[in-house]
Amino acid sequence: MRGKDDRISRHNQSYLQRGESSMAQGVLPYKYEEEKKSSSMTSLAGLPLYLDLAFALGIPENIDRHLMLRPSQGWSDSRMVLSLMLLAIAGGDCVDDLRILEADEGFCRVLERIEPEEPARFRIKKARTFPSPSSVFRYLASFRTTDPPVQGAASIPRSPALGRFNLVNRDLVASVQQHDPSATATLDMDATIVETQKREALFCYEGYRAYQPLNVYWAEQELLVHTEFRDGNVSANYDLLRVFTDALDALPEGIDRVRLRADGAGYCHDLLAYCESGEHVRFGRIEFAVSCPVTEALKKETRLVPPDEWKRLDAQREWAEVGFVPNEIGHSKHGPTYRYLAVRDVLAQPVLPGMELPFQTCCLHGTQYKLRALCSNMDWAGVSLPLPTSGAGRARRPTPCSKRISSGGSFPPAPSDQMRHGGGSPSLHSICMQP
């Protein structure tokens, strides 16, 4: 297919005009040629939709109001942050990729119409639409903490400027809640490993340099409610209660019920006791469903469950309620009472002596099973609880998948793998702390 402005050469023939350049032919019989003429076309036509959404939700105004790092001179806070957000959405890997956005003349013209130049902020007329990488690096330095990370010790960097992003995020969540109210907030809480090449980053438990922010995600609204930036060596279950109460304080008006959902890292008795006690002034008792470790004591109680009490979950798995009380809450008759549910899955191959498996197994009634467990304070009739996921290596993901036990109410879907691993909308914290 050839037209007047066609710049593809075929069959080893080249049709070049003066000022054009050509890339050497590869395996296939065509060449790429660079067009030197200015053009108003853009390959980033989808990005203005995100800008439209950002302005509809008031994000630029909230950024300028809360951050206050560039109140009068130079690139504004909102222009800096929005540039990084657009870069992340477009698939950029580093700050230097802003040069690619700047080179897209068509998108730059769109951005200039949306956000016209503010002459009072610059001493001389600016020649760029996006901030230069060097100016962005200087801006990101404002969010760094002066406390050096310590290998082998849990370190949570404290940066006043970085903490202001939570105020921006609160306004964002409140704006979404105002447009589309939800009376229930199911909060998924877990840490997410973000690999990095920064030399000052510490090693995570998987053996590479990373950061490990702790995130609280609102399932009904599909929004990140609260996040805390952490070094890679900080355990996922470190100081969860404080972060959870901060997330509760960040929830907007109009919510009547809050539920907590987490993987095995969320099985902390101080957190579960707080949810059960009803101490929170606004929400009272908070229902939860949290994966729990399969200990030898839990295995022992699971073996005592009669065969007729196991109920079919799907084609391969069964579940049953186990009469189990852990030592952490069994020292007093006034302690909280939780439900423990076991999920078993028949192993396709027998476990041979000496084999090391990434999951717990148990022999029940002469059959070998893969065994997982869930702890909850819910007592619904015909409730659907989010049971633990199958397979290994999923403990670092924010939530177990939601599976129906019987008819009745159910949890909303858990966050997708894309959102868990940074493929969805990026958080403001992660944008500022990435290399």
Alpha-carbon 14 to chain mean position: 49
Region of 74 please: left (phi>0), alpha (psi -120 to 50) or beta. Answer: left
Helix (H, G, I), strand (E, B) or coil at 9: strand
In angstroms, the CA 355 to CA 2 distance is: 63
C-beta of residue 149 within 8 angstroms of C-beta of residue 198: no
Question: What domains, with CATH codes, occur in the chain?
Answer: 7-37 (no CATH), 47-143 (no CATH), 160-415 (3.90.350)
Q: Give the residue among 131, 150, 18 at the shortest CA–CA distance from 83.
A: 131
pLDDT per position as a tens digit, 394-427: 333 333 333 223 223 455 665 544 333 333 333 4
Q: Which residues are bridge partners to 188 per DSSP?
A: 217, 261
CB atoms closer than 10 angstroms to residue 106: 15
pLDDT value for 325: 87
For residue 252 the two structure tokens come to: 């907007």
- What is the amino acid identity at position 198? K
Longest dimension (CA), the chain: 89
- Give how far Cα 324 sits from Cα of 33, 205, 363, Å: 70, 30, 18
What per-residue confidence (pLDDT) applies to 398? 35
- Between the alpha carbon of residue 116 and those of residues 27, 71, 79, 130, the distances in Å are 46, 17, 11, 12
Alpha-carbon span 142 to 120, nearest angstrom = 23
How many helices (H) and strands (E) the chain has is answered by 12, 16
Q: pLDDT digits over 208-233, tens only? A: 999 999 999 999 999 999 999 888 88
Q: What is the 3-state secondary structure (H, E, C) of 114-142?
A: HCCCCHHHCCCCCCCCCCCHHHHHHHHHH
Look up residue 431 and give its amino acid: I
pLDDT score, position 49: 87
Beta bridge partners of 128: none
Task: Render the burial of 16-26: b for 16+ CB within 10 Å, e for the rest.
Answer: eeeeeeeeeee
Neighbouring residues of 156: CB distance < 8 A, sequence distance ≥ 6: 228, 229, 230, 231, 234, 239
- Residue-by-residue DSSP string for 384-396: ---PPPSSSS-TT
Q: From CA 174, how far away is CA 218, in angstroms rounded?
A: 12
* Regions of the chain where pLDDT drops below 70: 1-40, 115-126, 148-152, 155, 380-435
Q: What is the per-residue pLDDT for 327?
A: 80
